[in-house]
C-alpha cells in the first residue's frame, strides 16, 4: 500500500525526487520534470553598505513588495490648505513643483504598471520562481526611479532586471532564453543588464557552471547519474582553475557532453550546444581542455571498450 503522503512525480509517478531548497525546485530524477517552484529567499541583503559596517549589517529576506507599482507608499506634495502660509512667489514655486511631480510620477506609475505586466509575462513563460520575479521587479523599480529607463525600451530593461535577479539568486537562465521569451535582442539585454547593475551598484558574482547542469540535463533527457558526473567534473576543473575566465555555459555544456559520453548516453555536440546556447566549437575547446588536464583517460578507455563491444555485436548480427 502506498502512503498518501509520499510525493510523486505527476509525469512518471516516480518517488525519486530531488529537492533543491535554494532554488525552490523539486526535480524528478527519473524524467527530469521540474515539479514545484516555491521559493523562500535564503539570501542575504545584497546592497553594498560601507565597508566597515557591511559585515554586521547584512539582513536576510526580501523587503517590501515591489510587485505593486508604488508599494502603497506614494508621496505627494500637499494641496491647497498647506499653501496659506506661503507668500505668492513661494506659492508659485509650489504649484510648479506639484504639477511637475504629478506629471513625472504618473508617468513613472504608468510605465511601472506596464513593465510589471511584461515582467510577469516573461517570468511565467520562463517558469521563474516568484522570489526571483519579486527581485526583478524591485530592480526594475529602482532603475525606473533613477531614470535609467529613459532612452531604452521598457522591455529591454525588464529583461535586464530579470537576468540580474536570476543571477543573484543562482537560478541562472541564459541570455538566449530570456531573449527568446522577451523578444529582445541578446546583445541589447546584455547591455542594459550591465548598465543597470553598474548604475545601481549591484554586485553580481560570476555564475557557477554547476547551476546550469540540472536544467540542461533535464532538457536533454539525461540520467541523474550523468548529472552528478558532470557536476563532479566541473568541481574537479574548478580546483585546478580551469574554469576561471571561461563562459560558465560553455563549461557546463562541455562537462555534460563528457559525462554523457562516459555514461554511455551519447549526445551530439550540436544537441548539447543548442540547449546550452553555445557553439560546438566552444564545447570542443572546453572538452579538449577537460580531457587533457583532468585524468579522464581511464574513463575514456572504458568508453572505447564499450564501443568496440557494440561493434562486435553489430557484426555478429550481420552474419
Partner DNA sequence: AAGACGAAAGTGGTTGA
Partner DNA sequence: TCAACAACTTTCGTCTT
Cβ 245 to DNA shortest distance, Å: 4
Residue among 1, 139, 170, 16 at smallest CA distance from 67: 139
How many residues in the shown chain lie near DNA by CB under 7 A?
23
Cβ 66 to DNA shortest distance, Å: 26
Q: Per rule CB under 7 A, is residue 277 in the interface with DNA?
A: yes
Cβ 290 to DNA shortest distance, Å: 12
Window 181 to 210, contacts with DNA (CB under 7 A): 187, 190-191, 194
Q: Per rule CB under 7 A, is residue 281 in the interface with DNA?
A: yes
Contact 172, 136 (CB under 8 A): no
Q: Per rule CB under 7 A, is residue 278 in the interface with DNA?
A: yes
**Residues in Cβ contact with 126 at an 8 Å cutoff, skipping those fewer than 6 apart:** 173, 177, 178, 181
Q: Per rule CB under 7 A, is residue 111 in the interface with DNA?
A: no
Residue among 198, 158, 153 at smallest CA distance from 182: 158
C-alpha cell read off for 128? 521563474
Contact pick of 103, 110, 266, 306 for DNA (by CB under 7 A): 266
Give the contact letters, 217-256, x = binds to DNA (CB under 7 A), - = no.
Answer: ----------------------------xxx--x------
Cβ 250 to DNA shortest distance, Å: 4
Please give the Cα distance from 158 to 6 (Å, whole number): 39
Cβ 280 to DNA shortest distance, Å: 6
Contact 131, 39 (CB under 8 A): yes
Give the sign of the dihedral formed by CA 227, CA 271, CA 308, CA 310. positive
Q: Per rule CB under 7 A, is residue 152 in the interface with DNA?
A: no
**Residues in Cβ contact with 279 at an 8 Å cutoff, skipping those fewer than 6 apart:** 273
Cβ 291 to DNA shortest distance, Å: 9
C-alpha cell read off for 167? 543571477
Which H or E run contains 166?
A: helix 154-168
Q: Which is nearer to DNA, 38 or 288 (CB)?
A: 288
Q: Which residues bind DNA (CB under 7 A)?
A: 187, 190-191, 194, 245-247, 250, 266, 268-270, 277-282, 284-288
Amino acid at each position: 500500500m502506498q502512503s498518501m503522503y509520499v510525493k510523486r512525480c505527476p509525469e512518471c509517478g516516480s518517488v525519486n525526487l530531488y529537492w533543491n531548497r535554494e532554488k525552490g525546485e523539486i526535480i524528478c530524477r527519473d524524467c527530469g520534470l521540474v515539479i514545484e517552484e516555491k521559493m523562500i529567499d535564503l539570501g542575504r541583503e545584497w546592497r553594498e553598505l560601507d565597508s566597515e559596517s557591511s559585515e554586521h549589517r547584512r539582513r536576510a529576506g526580501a523587503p517590501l513588495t515591489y510587485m505593486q507599482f508604488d508599494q502603497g507608499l506614494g508621496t505627494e506634495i500637499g494641496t491647497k490648505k498647506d499653501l496659506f502660509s506661503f507668500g505668492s512667489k513661494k506659492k508659485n514655486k509650489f504649484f510648479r513643483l506639484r504639477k511637475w511631480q504629478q506629471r513625472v510620477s504618473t508617468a513613472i506609475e504608468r510605465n511601472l504598471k506596464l513593465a510589471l505586466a511584461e515582467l510577469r509575462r516573461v517570468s511565467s513563460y520562463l517558469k521563474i520562481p516568484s522570489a526571483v520575479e519579486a527581485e526583478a521587479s524591485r530592480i526594475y523599480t529602482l532603475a525606473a526611479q533613477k531614470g535609467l529607463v529613459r532612452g531604452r525600451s521598457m522591455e529591454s530593461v525588464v529583461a535586464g532586471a530579470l537576468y540580474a535577479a536570476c543571477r543573484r539568486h543562482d537560478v541562472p537562465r541564459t541570455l538566449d532564453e530570456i531573449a527568446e521569451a522577451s523578444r529582445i535582442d541578446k546583445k541589447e539585454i546584455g547591455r542594459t543588464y550591465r548598465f543597470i547593475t553598474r548604475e545601481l551598484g549591484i554586485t553580481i558574482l560570476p555564475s557557477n557552471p554547476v547551476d546550469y547542469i540540472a536544467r540542461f540535463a533535464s532538457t536533454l533527457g539525461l540520467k541523474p547519474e550523468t548529472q552528478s558526473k558532470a557536476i563532479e567534473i566541473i568541481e574537479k576543473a574548478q580546483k585546478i582553475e580551469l574554469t576561471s575566465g571561461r563562459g560558465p555555459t560553455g563549461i557546463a555544456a562541455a562537462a555534460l557532453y563528457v559525462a554523457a559520453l562516459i555514461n554511455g548516453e551519447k549526445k551530439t555536440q550540436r544537441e548539447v550546444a543548442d540547449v546550452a546556447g553555445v557553439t560546438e566549437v566552444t564545447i570542443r575547446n572546453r572538452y579538449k581542455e577537460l580531457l587533457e588536464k583532468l585524468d579522464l583517460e581511464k574513463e575514456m578507455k572504458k568508453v572505447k571498450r564499450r564501443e568496440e563491444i557494440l561493434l562486435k555485436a553489430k557484426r555478429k548480427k550481420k552474419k
